[in-house]
């Protein structure tokens, strides 16, 4: 049975993104060939993207994709098998009957149990395998679970497509042969922490790009939120997951007010809060409260609570800085993250004055990366303390240290404003 023949292209794209990781997970679980399985899924997605907008979406879109992808994979495995027979004159490695594609009426490609979103989570665990570097984990997650093309991932990271293709290929080789199953209970927490960290890094890169002409990359931010929602559907009572989703939703709610008409950066205290997404703020606040009720307050829950306090303030001067400082104290006690320590220094300045904040900044260890953020905070506090000459120098040092064009323009403008 078909849906309306004129299906919206964007609806089809959303549907394909939803089902792609489940289809890939089902094929990898059944056949154990990650790389060719991913190629087969991509081919099935291309076919669907061409057919569904005109012919309508099948009644069981996931089953349709699995059937098409599995047949493409079977054809490839058969071809590889034949080549090996010719070249090596050895027996086939896989029984022939394993490559028989079922007819359309026999369920989703005869892959044993029906695929589910559990496969999405297992695929995330695989993409965030501890053998991979964080950069490789992010690239493989966006490719295999997010469904982004190699070109899209390369553009998001401002590298050549060939470079990103090599990174993804190396990541696939590193996890080749890994059994497709959830981690053991004793390893689950550590692996889940890696998954959430990757999603957090993807969101941060989308919300504040580390380099390039744009401050905000909404495609990456939206993708991180979408994937985190998928994880939460599977783990609805996991406080870390709920907290991370709350943090993302509350932070992204401020995105419409972060840049001006020419793309210039607008700091938090100068943003037009009427432009903030109030629906998202209501959802994020509810999620933050739920996350805190789901167990001991972890890093994501505390950061979400801080974001909620910022979002709930009708004006910058209404922000509950003493409460934010108390939350940062808990956060810094839990994590060595330099960003948390820097956030605490800003909160100290807002509660106890800029000189106290400067003392807190000076007490921080010099970061190995992201030094410009420390310089930017120091410049802001020096300006508030009235030391304009030192603030100007710190603003310029921060501008020289960032690779983000909008951040550099903003910091240089602040420095120029303080020129005699």
Tokens matching residue 169: 């290929």
Length of the chain: 420
Question: What is d(CA 217, CA 111) in angstroms, rounded to the nearest whole number?
Answer: 37
Q: Using alpha carbons, list the distances in angstroms from residue 299 to 197, 362, 372.
A: 11, 24, 24
Q: Which residues contact 229 (CB under 8 A, 6 or more apart)?
A: 245
Strand partners, 58: 2
Give me the percent of the chain exceeding a pLDDT of 90.
41
Q: How many CA atoms lie within 13 A of 79 on its CB side?
A: 7
Reported as a pLDDT band with limits 50, 70 and 90, residue 74 is confident
Other CB atoms within 10 A of residue 45 CB = 22
What the block records as the tokens of 125 is 């665990």
Q: Does the domain at residues 320-420 carry the CATH identifier 3.90.45.10?
A: no
Q: pLDDT for 161-190, tens place per residue?
A: 899 999 999 998 888 878 888 888 888 888
Rounded distance between C-alpha atoms, residue 358 and residue 379, angstroms:
9
* pLDDT above 50 for 101: no
Q: At what angle do helices 134-144 and 34-55 cross, to 10 degrees?
A: 40
Q: Over range 349-377, report the average pLDDT.
A: 87
Query: pTM score, two decimals?
Result: 0.78
Sequence-distant (≥ 6) Cβ neighbours of residue 364 within 8 angstroms? 338, 341, 342, 345, 374
Tell me the mean pLDDT in the region 394-415.
94
Q: Where are the domains of the chain?
A: 9-105, 320-420
pLDDT confidence of residue 347: 97
Distant-in-sequence, close-in-space partners of 353: CB < 8 Å, separation ≥ 6: none
Distance from C-alpha of 354 to C-alpha of 379, rounded to nearest angstrom: 11
CA pair distance 298, 251, nearest whole angstrom: 18
d(CA 358, CA 339): 15
Lowest mean pLDDT among 45-54, 327-336, 393-402: 45-54
């Amino acid at each position: 049975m078909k849906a309306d023949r004129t299906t919206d292209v964007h609806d089809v794209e959303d549907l394909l993104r939803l089902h792609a990781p489940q289809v890939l997970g089902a094929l990898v679980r059944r056949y154990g060939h990650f790389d060719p399985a991913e190629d087969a899924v991509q081919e099935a997605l291309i076919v669907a993207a061409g057919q569904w907008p005109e012919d309508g979406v099948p009644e069981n879109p996931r089953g349709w994709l699995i059937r098409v992808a599995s047949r493409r994979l079977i054809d490839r495995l058969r071809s590889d098998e034949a080549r090996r027979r010719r070249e090596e004159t050895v027996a086939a490695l896989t029984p022939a009957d394993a490559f028989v594609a079922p007819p359309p009426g026999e369920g989703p490609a005869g892959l044993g149990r029906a695929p589910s979103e559990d496969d999405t989570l297992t695929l995330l665990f695989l993409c965030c395998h501890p053998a991979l570097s964080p950069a490789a984990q992010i690239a493989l997650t966006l490719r295999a679970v997010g469904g982004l093309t190699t070109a899209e991932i390369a553009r998001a990271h401002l590298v050549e497509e060939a470079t990103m293709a090599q990174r993804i290929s190396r990541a696939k080789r590193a996890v080749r042969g890994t059994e497709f199953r959830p981690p053991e209970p004793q390893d689950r927490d550590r692996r889940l922490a890696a998954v959430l960290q990757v999603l957090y890094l993807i969101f941060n890169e989308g919300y504040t790009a580390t380099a390039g002409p744009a401050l905000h990359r909404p495609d990456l931010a939206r993708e991180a939120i979408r994937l985190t929602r998928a994880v939460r559907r599977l783990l609805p009572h996991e406080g870390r997951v709920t907290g991370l989703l709350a943090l993302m939703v509350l932070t992204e709610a401020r995105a419409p007010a972060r840049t001006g008409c020419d793309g210039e950066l607008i700091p938090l205290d100068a943003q037009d809060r009427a432009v903030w997404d109030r629906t998202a703020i209501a959802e994020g606040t509810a999620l933050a409260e739920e996350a805190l009720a789901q167990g001991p307050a972890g890093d994501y829950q505390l950061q979400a609570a801080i974001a909620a306090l910022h979002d709930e303030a009708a004006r910058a001067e209404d922000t509950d800085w003493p409460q934010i400082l108390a939350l940062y104290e808990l956060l810094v006690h839990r994590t060595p993250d330099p960003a948390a320590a820097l956030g605490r220094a800003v909160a100290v300045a807002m509660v106890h004055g800029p000189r106290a904040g400067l003392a807190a900044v000076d007490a921080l260890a010099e970061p190995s990366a992201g030094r410009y953020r420390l310089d930017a905070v120091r410049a802001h506090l020096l300006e508030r303390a009235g030391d304009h000459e030192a603030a100007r120098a710190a603003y310029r040092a921060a501008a020289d240290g960032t690779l983000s064009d909008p951040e550099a323009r903003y910091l240089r403008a602040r420095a120029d404003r303080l020129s005699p």
